[in-house]
Amino acid sequence: MTTTLDMTATELREVNTTLQAAAKAQANEAFEITNPRGSHAMACGLDGPLSVTIKGSTGYYCAGMNKEATVTVEGSAGPGVAENMMSGVVTIEGDASQYAGATGHGGLLNIKGNASSRCGISMKGIDIVVHGNIGHMSAFMAQKGNLVVLGDAGDALGDSLYEARLFVRGNVKSLGADCIEKEMRPEHIEILKELLEKAGADAKPEEFKRYGSARKLYNFNIDHADEY
Amino acid sequence: MCGIVGLFLKKDELRPQLGDLLTDMLITMTDRGPDSAGIAIYGDETDGMVKITVQSDTPAEAFADLDAAVCAAVDAPVTIKVVDTHAVLTLPEAAEKDAIAYLEEKGLRIMGSGASMEIYKETGLPKDVAARFGLRNMGGSHGIGHTRMATESAVTTMGAHPFSTADDQCLVHNGSLSNHNQMRRKLAKKGVFTRSENDTEVGAAYISSRIADGASLGEALEGTIEDLDGFFTFVTGTKNGFGVVRDPIACKPAVMAETEDYVAFASEYRAFADLPGIEAARVWEPEPATVYFWER
């Protein structure tokens, strides 16, 4: 059974309290939110299995800190969607604004449209699949996890990158400091194949290039001592 | 943080609703800027005539017989429409310069002037500002609005947006410019002066000065990316349309929506929620360092 919450009649705070309580109850209920009208912080802080479908576009910080829940936005999402997500699945049918999936620790963020700048900034284990393009400074200081982009990437991809894997099918406008193209080995094809399947993406793993850290910023280089 | 909204109508049927639609958009952006609000609305025009919008803190005294006084000063027919603290004087184009000089000498604040543009801005909550001016009842072809959370200069009428630095041109801004004092001095050397200490007014003056030098609106907006330093999402209005540009870092939010009936701009999607047909609109985020403009 699906419970419908209409935001023309129910306040945002009540919607979130209801969802958070249902998540805690571990009953794996289904909710549908109508008339979201671009509200902020929708379906954030869910800590348990729950299915939430938002029928429209959302504002800042939708599905932030998500744990175990499945959140689908049938529209576009504002800045900071699925920020610091821990697990579960967040799907955006439209576009996502800046810093989507920032600092995410786990789970899957599946963006069917484009994501703008700083997608996956400082990601720490989350998997992000973007079916369209991503903007500049994406995966800046990304530590762990996978960022898969079916379209193009903007300027300075993977600047100051740690150990996150970046897979891009289209063009990369420019790579950030210490980010380089790397060999696509069989294990990477396997990871990518699984992620594309999970995200329902129509693409072949072989069409992608892999980018990662050159690991030159990890340690201080004594030869550069005079530079400071 | 500030809020910006803009609406450009593609169809004349919606013209009477422009003020109503823009007012809802503006009020929704109150959280982003509760200290002042303003709107530039491009409405009806009469051939050969110009409208000058002025403001006074003591409107009862300042606007009493102002039309007759301006008429005598510039020797031309003048009509006046008083709207709360603002008044719109309509007079022949040829008398515009003299009229502005006279009005400034009388201590009135010039909000802007042009064939079709009227500017209304005040301190206070956007809903109160909108009610004072009766923004809901205003019609027109396009308009831009701003809700302000001040960072760079005082919370005053003159510090509120939109800023107009040439006929029918205005600018609203979310962000802050860091080289505005240097740019203000550069522009002053060229004889371009601003009326406030505000950073955005310098941005407006820069764009106007480039257009006066022969640049197109698109070229002038391109120039902001090179010549202005700082954070900005700009929406600029002209007699024929509006333009949008964001700085290359693009940390100030922006979202756009387009249908067969209109092009809309806002800092957040929330501002679009009441627009007709928004469910089916094309919604997208304008790219950094990219100029967009719509003209009729």
Query: Do B153 and B65 share a structural domain?
Result: no
Q: What structural domains and CATH numbers belong to chain A?
A: 2-214 (2.160.20.60)
pLDDT value of residue A227: 76
Tokens 């050159």: give the residue.
A214
Res. B26: pLDDT tops 90: yes
From the candidates A42, A117, A134, which should be mutated to test the interface with B, based on the most B CB atoms within 10 A? A117
**What pLDDT was estimated at residue A115?**
98
Task: Report the residue of chain A nearest B285, measured CA to CA.
Answer: A97
pLDDT the model gives residue B46: 93
Element (H, E) at B41: strand B36-42
What residues of A are in contact with residue B284 (Cβ under 8 Å)?
A: 95, 114
- Give the whole-number percent of chain B exceeding pLDDT 70: 100
**Average pLDDT of span B129-141:** 97
Residues B175 and B230 in one domain: yes
Q: Give the model's pLDDT for residue B151.
A: 83
Q: What is the ipTM of this complex?
A: 0.92
Instruction: Output B241 or B76, whichever has higher pLDDT.
Output: B76
Residue of B251, B270, B279 lying closest to A38 (CB–CB): B270
CA distance A87 to A100: 15
Ranges A209-223, B50-64, B99-113, B259-273: which has the least confidence: A209-223
Residue ending a domain, among B85, B115, B145, is: B115
Q: B152 pLDDT exceeds 80?
A: no
Distance from CA of A90 to the nearest CA of B (A): 19
| E strand or H helix at B257 | strand B255-258
Q: Are B159 and B176 in contact (CB under 8 A)?
A: no
pLDDT at B4: 97
Give percent above pLDDT 90 in chain B: 95
Closest residue in B to A99 (Cα) is B251
Residues 103-142 of A with CB under 8 A from B: 114, 116-117, 135-136
Compute the CA torsion angle B204, B215, A173, B247 (nearest 10 deg): 0
Do B96 and B196 lie in a common domain?
A: no
**Whether residues B35 and B52 fall in one domain:** no
Same domain, residue pair B94 and B139: no
User: Using 50, 70 and 90 to split pLDDT, how confident is the model at B296?
Assistant: confident
Asked whether the beta carbons of residue B272 and residue A117 sit closer than 8 angstroms, the reply is no
**Residue ranges, chain A, pLDDT below 50:** none
B91, B115, B139 - which closes a domain: B115
pLDDT of residue A226: 82
Task: Please write the tens of the pLDDT for every residue from B196-220.
Answer: 989 999 999 999 999 999 999 999 9
Looking at the structure, tell me whether residues B176 and B274 fall in a common domain: yes
How far apart CA B62 and CA A88 sit, in angstroms, is 64
Domain boundary among B77, B96, B115: B115
pLDDT of residue A220: 81
Number of structural domains in chain B:
2
CB contact under 8 A, A60 and B268: yes
Instruction: Identify the CATH number of the domain in which residue B77 sits.
Output: 3.30.70.600
Q: Which domain holds residue B79?
A: 45-115
The pLDDT value recorded for residue B108 is 97
CATH number for the domain harbouring residue B284: 3.60.20.10
Catalytically annotated residues of B = 2
Residues B163 and B33 in one domain: yes
**Whether B166 and B92 share a structural domain:** no
